[in-house]
Chain A
Amino acid sequence: MPITSSFRTVVKIAGESGQGVNSVGEIVAKSLKESGYHQFGYREYPSLIKGGYSCYQIDIADRPIKSSSQYTNLLLCLSRVSVHAYLKTLAPQGQLVHSLPALSFSADERAFIEQNQIAVEYVDAAKLALAVGGKAIMANTVIIGILLQLYGLSEQVVGRVLKEEFANKPEMLAANLACLQAGHEYQLQTVKKPTLPTERDASLDNAYLLTGNHALALGAVSAGVRAYYAYPMTPASSILTYLSQWYHQTGMLVRQVDDEISVAQMAIGSMYVGTRALVGTSGGGFDLMTESVSLAAMTETPFVCILGQRPGPATGLPTWTATGDLNLAVYAGHGEFARLVVAASDVESCYTLVQHAFNYAEKYQTAVIVLTEKEIAESLYCVTSLPAAVPIERHLLPDEELEKITPAARYDTSSPSGVSPRWLPGSSPAVFDTNGDEHLADGSLTEESQPVKAMYDKRMRKQAALLAELPEPALFGDQQPDVVLVGWGSVKNAVLDALPELSAAFPEAKIGYLHYEYVYPVRTERLQQLHQAGAKLVLIENNYLGQLGGLITQHTAIQFPTKLLKYDGRPFFVEDVVAGMTPVLTAGRTK
């Protein structure tokens, strides 16, 4: 069922890779923001430079949203393949505008169109573009012009956005503006103006349109990251792109390194001497880093890695989304050691978590993994502000102690937290061995039973100390819920956007959502309280196994009788949550 209780209308621009679908999406998103509409932008595209099919979907709403609907109200297609791929995402009374001469539908598609009263209209966008002195590729801009008239966006606003887009190609601007106007003035025969939110939000004028990767890159800048090392891998690649685009402004050393093993090792080297270095990758690249994660833990060197998840195993679905790498993050690396795994869910959490990650990594002198997902990394969020910067905490030995410290203080095993003083190479006459082999307090190698155990205990104590200071998961929705969804990552957004739908359908139900941002070590007190109070637990994860659920069960023996799991490369759409929760809530009603 399409969303009914709150206002949402969806436009999807579809074509093949190389047709500029993404640029069109971004221009439309910017224009919608300037016109005061809340929105969320979602991309689907294949792992190809040319061909296949891709789309940019923008959900438009009357309030802030961070997730997508599975239904489309207006579909604009620039390629044949994309028509066939996306036709059936159209909601009843949906509309299709395409630029494909002699487009034919299968019998099945014709039946769908008829049954759902879909309006179909052909616009020869390439011809229109050529007629006003443009090029065939500017069919894109004609399509933007058509959206302009359909959504009643201001031509001035769109014109300004276009000027910004073509700031580096001024010779293209005039033709594009002509194409925009041609689209704007085109007389549509069948397709009608879609309904839009009745209220506009003037505060969106100053809002920001950001992807998760933008926010991670901004968080890195704020956190004082001075070196970013990476090997390109979707969906983390654009962090490298953004930070390199900014490096003249920030002075950051941004380096594309030749493999992920080198990436991790260079970061550990730079962190060891005392700067802040960050790395970003996806599952396959992280696999290559795992022995380095183990080394960071053994040598008690801070290490922060962004792990942008996509579906695996192996190359999997390179450009799609999933959260199947939680277990990888939690268990990566040989041997046993303390670590922190955090998971972003949106731009705000991307921005702050990467900053907190460095503070925790330096405090506990170990590896911190920041999980994100393609859904977060590349989706476009509209936010009025970002949270305040997180003040840097380095937890280094104070300068006045550097001259009197002794080498054996470095890995002193006596502290209850397991954390021992850290000072930087060059800063003190006290030099020590930072040893990947088991070692004594000054880093000298040992294989003796007692000191081996003492050092092992020291390192492992850090896990308990870290757990004790982590926040409990946040509870959204009803604060005394009968039913609690439990999740992490981007599912939060679909769940929170679905809550009004569920409340409308089940007004008597008290529904909560427990969101894990700090995933490992896993805090379970709040969950246990809810469980003891009789709340029904529903696990929701973008993977097959329900990996967070597995961790919780392992630590509490609490089972999840109901699991909403999705692992087809797509994020949870709002309707997925509604459909998944309907039987649960219906059963609750009959009790």
Chain B
Amino acid sequence: MHMHDCHCEPSQHDYFSQNLYTWCTNCGNYGIHAAVKRALVAEGVNPHQAVLCFDIGCNGNGSDKIEGNRFHGLHGRIIPFACGVSLANTKLKVMAFGGDGGTLGEGLNHLLHAIRGNYDMTFVLHNNLNYGLTQGQASPTTKLGMKMNSSPDGIVADQIQPMRLVLSLNPSFAARTFSGDVRHMTKTLQAAIKHPGFSFVEILQSCPTYNKATPHEWYQEHLFDVESLDNYDPSNITWAREVAEDLETKIATGVLYQRPDSPTALARLANRQAMTTELVDEVKNYSITELLKKFQ
């Protein structure tokens, strides 16, 4: 297919949308959008080269508040959609965004299989510990005992610790960052975009409306970057699992784990090894004459 060729350096302005934001004051999403734009620009990705895939939720309502090729899909289903995109045209940079409800509740299996398959994309988990858009119900990451909309006596199920789950699968790339630190998010997202394969980025996101227990300030007091540890080795999964555990006192951020040797989903396919074209370039009538012979 014809790819638009613009030899231009992207700027943040290119990602600027005329549409007004509709998020709450102080929502973590503002910072995340700013960081996504900065990271894409820093990586030299123009809007027409980016496919930004949004799940349902507060973050998804931002799909038309940023430029780029955007797709606003169904609740919990954005990961397999983005996998399908990434297989068909590797010239596009694929990023997908989902909340803790869609990703760990409705569509948890998709996350697991995308990690296994190592599709070349960045997945950003907006983890704000609740369902914001439907007005503050519990999500799989809501802490045990929290009183939420629809759970007046408190949550009775244990919480999922997303990074523990992801690291249990030997992911290709796993990082954690915080919605209140645009610089840290930008750096982390850049590393994720650069990484070939499935890059999982958990953003600890403040929700000023429904999560009063761990507000912006609380995160600021509890976070540290693994780069501050002596000789932290992000290729050591045991170490990554160790530092990722604590979500109460000293919460690790940064690139926790990166596997250097995991081929992407496409690179794993023997029959596509010799192909130099993209799936999007290959749509034409193919002769079936040879195939038919075996049925004679």
Q: What residues on B are CB-neighbors of A257 within 8 Å?
A: 80, 113
- Bound complex: CA of A207 vs CA of B296, how far in Å? 6
B74:A295 contact, CB within 8 angstroms: yes
How does the 8 Å CB contact mask read for B61-77 relative to A, with 1 for contact and 0 for none?
10110011111111001
Shortest distance between the CB of A333 and any CB in chain B (Å): 11
Shortest distance between the CB of B9 and any CB in chain A (Å): 14
Known: A218-B288, A247-B271, A277-B84. A429 touches B89 (CB 8 A): no
Question: Which A residue's beta carbon lies closest to that of B75?
Answer: A291
Looking at the complex, which one of B4, B92, B110 makes contact with A273 (CB distance below 8 Å)?
A: B92
Using a CB-CB cutoff of 8 Å, which residues 118-147 of chain B contact chain A? none
- Bound complex: CA of A444 vs CA of B275, how far in Å? 37
- Bound complex: CA of A221 vs CA of B291, how far in Å? 10
Shortest distance between the CB of B233 and any CB in chain A (Å): 32
Shortest distance between the CB of A212 and any CB in chain B (Å): 13
A435:B72 contact, CB within 8 angstroms: yes
B48:A426 contact, CB within 8 angstroms: yes
Question: Which B residue's beta carbon lies closest to that of A34?
Answer: B296
A443 close to chain B: CB less than 8 A: yes
B88 close to chain A: CB less than 8 A: yes
Q: What residues on A are CB-neighbors of B53 within 8 Å?
A: 269
Q: What residues on B are CB-neighbors of A551 within 8 Å?
A: none
B283 close to chain A: CB less than 8 A: yes
Shortest distance between the CB of A71 and any CB in chain B (Å): 28
Q: What residues on A are CB-neighbors of B49 within 8 Å?
A: 426
Shortest distance between the CB of B170 and any CB in chain A (Å): 17
Q: How many A-B residue pairs have CB under 8 A?
A: 215
- Bound complex: CA of A253 vs CA of B19, how far in Å? 38
B292 close to chain A: CB less than 8 A: yes
Using a CB-CB cutoff of 8 Å, which residues 89-114 of chain B contact chain A? 89, 91-92, 107, 109-110, 113
- Bound complex: CA of A463 vs CA of B104, how far in Å? 37
Category for how many chain B residues contact A: 35 or more
Looking at the complex, which one of B70, B110, B283 makes contact with A276 (CB distance below 8 Å)?
A: B283
B261 close to chain A: CB less than 8 A: no
A273:B109 contact, CB within 8 angstroms: no
B30 close to chain A: CB less than 8 A: no
Looking at the complex, which one of A246, A258, A444 makes contact with B291 (CB distance below 8 Å)?
A: A246
Known: A270-B85, A429-B4, A434-B72. A262 touches B80 (CB 8 A): yes
Q: What residues on B are CB-neighbors of A218 within 8 Å?
A: 288, 291-292
B291:A267 contact, CB within 8 angstroms: no
A273:B295 contact, CB within 8 angstroms: no
B6 close to chain A: CB less than 8 A: yes
Known: A402-B2, A425-B51. A433 touches B84 (CB 8 A): no
A427:B295 contact, CB within 8 angstroms: no
Q: What residues on B are CB-neighbors of A224 within 8 Å?
A: 282-286
A208 close to chain B: CB less than 8 A: yes
A295:B286 contact, CB within 8 angstroms: no
Q: What residues on B are CB-neighbors of A402 within 8 Å?
A: 2, 4
A251 close to chain B: CB less than 8 A: yes
Known: A249-B291, A386-B292, A444-B64. A275 touches B73 (CB 8 A): no
A206 close to chain B: CB less than 8 A: yes
Question: Which A residue's beta carbon lies closest to that of B61?
Answer: A445
Q: What residues on A are CB-neighbors of B81 within 8 Å?
A: 265-266, 268-269, 272
B290 close to chain A: CB less than 8 A: yes
B4:A445 contact, CB within 8 angstroms: no
A344 close to chain B: CB less than 8 A: no
Question: Which B residue's beta carbon lies closest to that of A226?
Answer: B279
How does the 8 Å CB contact mask read for A262-297 relative to B, with 1 for contact and 0 for none?
110111111111111100000000000001100100
A534 close to chain B: CB less than 8 A: no
A253:B272 contact, CB within 8 angstroms: yes
A273:B89 contact, CB within 8 angstroms: yes
Using a CB-CB cutoff of 8 Å, which residues 248-296 of chain B contact chain A? 266, 269-272, 275, 278-280, 282-288, 290-292, 295-296
A426:B69 contact, CB within 8 angstroms: yes
- Bound complex: CA of A284 vs CA of B138, how far in Å? 30
A392 close to chain B: CB less than 8 A: yes
A589 close to chain B: CB less than 8 A: no
Residue of B73, B266, B275 with most partner-chain A CB within 10 A: B73
B48:A431 contact, CB within 8 angstroms: yes
A214 close to chain B: CB less than 8 A: yes
Shortest distance between the CB of A314 and any CB in chain B (Å): 21
Shortest distance between the CB of B71 and any CB in chain A (Å): 5
Looking at the complex, which one of A214, A394, A425 makes contact with B92 (CB distance below 8 Å)?
A: A425
How does the 8 Å CB contact mask read for A487-512 relative to B, with 1 for contact and 0 for none?
00000000000000000000000000
Additional 19 contacts, C-beta under 8 A, given A425-B85, A445-B19:
A224-B285, A229-B84, A248-B270, A249-B290, A250-B286, A251-B275, A257-B80, A257-B113, A263-B80, A268-B84, A269-B87, A275-B280, A292-B77, A295-B77, A392-B284, A426-B89, A429-B6, A435-B71, A445-B64
Q: When A and B form their complex, which 6 residue pairs have the shortest distance between CB atoms, in order from nearest?
A: A269-B84, A266-B84, A265-B80, A262-B80, A425-B69, A275-B279
13 residue pairs of the A-B complex, CB under 8 angstroms, read: A208-B292, A221-B286, A227-B88, A253-B271, A253-B272, A265-B77, A265-B110, A269-B86, A272-B84, A274-B280, A389-B285, A425-B51, A445-B61
